[in-house]
Structure 1
């Protein structure tokens, strides 16, 4: 498990950090485990942290020999190796290299039959494609406008249908109101006729009472005489 010094050091640091975290947790949550209260756990954690720092003070840092630089730079193993000067390319060689590259590029273009006329046709094709894309965009715009116009027409038709339904409802309500008013007038007329008949009957009753009073008065007069 502990094959190297670094593994032992890593275990000590990790184990001590776990004790410190548990001590802080016991203190903040006021936990207790038998005689181990929050204060005891926090004190144990802080003491452990102090011991870890003390142990770290006596842990020497790694030396340069611990890094195997020779695996990356094998020339470090050769103590007699000297610094190799960089090769500087003069202007003539650079120009020859440019000419060689240019000639190779021209040869490649010639082998691929890429001449000026081909590039002109390619440019013409790109221009035609661009104009076609513009026409498609215009068609799409017209289609979008037509779709929007159709939506507006459908919305207007829906509003008109709602207005027609409202008008029909209002007309039906008006007809019912007219029938109710007509019936109300008829009831008033009937009530007036009944009132007139009642008045006539009341007048007849009054006339009969007057006649009875006269007869009764005549009888009283006859009895007194």
Structure 2
């Protein structure tokens, strides 16, 4: 199953770590699995952790020889081998050659596409016309937005005017009722004044009759005394 020692040791370390984690989990959650309680699981985990560290202490780290650098650098096999100088590349010449190559390719592409100065001038003129058209569209959009805002303000003013008309009509109706009430009040006062005048006349007639009756009664008393 495991062909190398490193694979076997890695499997052993992983299983030991798993046992330690399960022991801590059983202890913290107070789980139990048959005779295996939390304390038993934690003790087994700690013992396993100790065994892992003891085994790890006797497992020496890898040496440089285990990496087999000679497969990459064969000169490491020969102790008397001299260091080979690296080939110095003229970076400036290569960059210049690359620039010339790119320039020639670009000129060839422009020639194949028949792109000359007049073509770029026409392209620039088209872009300018397109920019002018965009400006006109923006102006049209601004006018539309202003018109929409004006319509909103007009609708708001019409709504306020309707409210004022309704209030004015209510005020007129209230004034009309007040006028009718005042008119009736004046009529009632006039009727009361007429009745008061008639009452005064009747009161004066009664007073006159009483005076006449007193005179007759006085004369009768005088005649009876004589």
| CA radius of gyration, larger in | 2
Change (3 A) 1:174 1:134: same
3-state secondary structure, aligned to 2:89: coil
| Deviation, structure 1 residue 141 | 1.1
Residue aligned with 2:74, SS: coil
Partner residue of 2:21 out of 14, 28, 46: 14
Unpaired runs of 5+ residues, structure 1, are: 24-40
* Residues 1:78 and 2:78 aligned together: no
- The CA deviation at 1:79 is 6.4
Superposed CA deviations along residues 119-160 of structure 1, whole A, max 9, x for unmatched, are 222222221111111111111112211222222222222222
Q: Sort the Cα spacing of 1:192 and 1:79 in 2 relative to 1 into closer, same or farther, 3 A.
A: closer
Choose from 1, 4, 28 the match for 2:11: 4
TM-score of the pair, normalised by structure 1? 0.67
1:61-89 Cα distance to aligned partner (Å, 9 max, x none) = 99875xxx98xxxx857265359876543
Residue ranges of structure 2 left out of the alignment (5+ in a row): 1-9, 31-37, 77-83
For the residues of structure 2 that align with 1:52 and 1:126, how far apart are their CA atoms? 79
What is the DSSP-based 3-state SS (H/G/I as helix, E as strand, rest coil) of the residue aligned with 1:58?
helix
Q: 1:149 to 1:177 in 2, by over 3 A?
A: same
CA RMSD of aligned residues (A): 3.8
C-alpha separation between the residues in 2 aligned to 1:136 and 1:64?
76
SS at match of 1:114: coil
TM-score scaled to structure 2, two decimals? 0.67
1:55 aligns to what? 49
User: How much does 1:99 deviate?
Assistant: 1.6
- Report the count of equivalent residues: 194
Match of 2:210 in 1: 209
From the superposition, tell whether residues 223 and 89 of structure 1 become closer, same or farther in structure 2 (CA, over 3 Å).
Answer: same
Cross-structure match for 1:169: 170
